[in-house]
Amino acid sequence: MKSLNWPLIISTWNFGAKANRVAWETLTRGEDPLDAVEKGINVVEKDPDVTSVGYGSIPNTDGYVELDAAIMSGPTHKAGAVAALKEIATPISVARKVMEKTNSVLLVGDGALKFALKNGFKRVTLLTEKAKEKWLKRKNQERVKKVDDNHDTIGLVLLDSRRNIYAGCSTSGLAVKISGRVGDSPIIGAGLYVDNEIGGVAATGTGEQIMMFCGSFLIVENMRRGIPPQEACDAVIKRMASKGQKEWVGFIALNKEGQYGAASLEKEFPYAIYCKKGEAIQKSKVCE
């Protein structure tokens, strides 16, 4: 069982490492842990080389980049999210504003954009030449349901020195997704979930499947029953597999004791950890 002290940050994929670094610096400067989550994720959102999150993402079938993000705070048990948000490079920051400034949890499409602009966010052209090229290539591949390498959400879960838990996630969803499609990431309980007494979870992979199992919520509920994070993730992946689900999914989980784990279906994925002892990239456990 992997066990470390707190604070501890875990994030999905290799790009999680740079999100963790910024989150760690922010946290250890004494800033609000939610700032740490937000600023960490912002780094990946603003990176044009990451074509599955924020600026420079691969667009949907109609050529529009539509972004999804969510944030959740353990101590307040509040969440905020945006879905199908266009023209804003940092959807996690808009999600945080939804959480802190409205009585709503999820704003979508034009309403989310209007809210963002009203709150000082600037319109940007999210589509880069690189993403456009990839999009054209993929469109020609007649992609319907096939899972390919062009989907990866940044999901980050943070346990601070007071043992409070926070999580955030941000994505452009599946590459060349059908226009209007929203994945798991902005759905609380699917793309992420936090219970401050128990732990936090974030997901990556085929959102449809994650949503149909309330994946992140279910893992937190497993942990509530005393199951360690690794086994709690394994159990949900196995349940998906037992019901014949074939699309790729992965989860990272962290509990209040500073234990963590990650599992995925059939194929491993890297995830990044950061703690006092340093940083590392680890591989998820593959379950079938």
Residues serving a catalytic function are 153
205 binds ligand ASP (CB under 6 A): yes
Please answer whether residues 184 and 191 qualify as being in contact, where contact means their C-beta atoms are separated by less than 8 angstroms: yes
134 binds ligand ASP (CB under 6 A): no
| Shortest Å, Cβ 210 to ligand ASP | 6
195 binds ligand ASP (CB under 6 A): no
Q: Which of 34, 151, 213, 223 binds ligand ASP (CB under 6 A)?
A: 151
Comparing CB distances to ligand ASP, the nearer of 33 and 186 is 186
Comparing CB distances to ligand ASP, the nearer of 86 and 151 is 151
91 binds ligand ASP (CB under 6 A): no
- Residue 146 to residue 252: CA distance in whole angstroms: 23
Comparing CB distances to ligand ASP, the nearer of 16 and 207 is 207
How many positions of this chain bind ligand ASP (CB under 6 A)? 13
229 binds ligand ASP (CB under 6 A): no
Comparing CB distances to ligand ASP, the nearer of 59 and 183 is 183
153 binds ligand ASP (CB under 6 A): yes
x-or-dash string of contact with ligand ASP, 163-192, rule CB under 6 A? --------x-xx--------xxx-------
Which two three-digit tokens encode residue 83?
A: 């879905």
Q: Which of 80, 199, 207, 229 binds ligand ASP (CB under 6 A)?
A: 207
| Shortest Å, Cβ 161 to ligand ASP | 29
Binding positions for ligand ASP, rule: CB under 6 A: 151-153, 171, 173-174, 183-185, 204-207
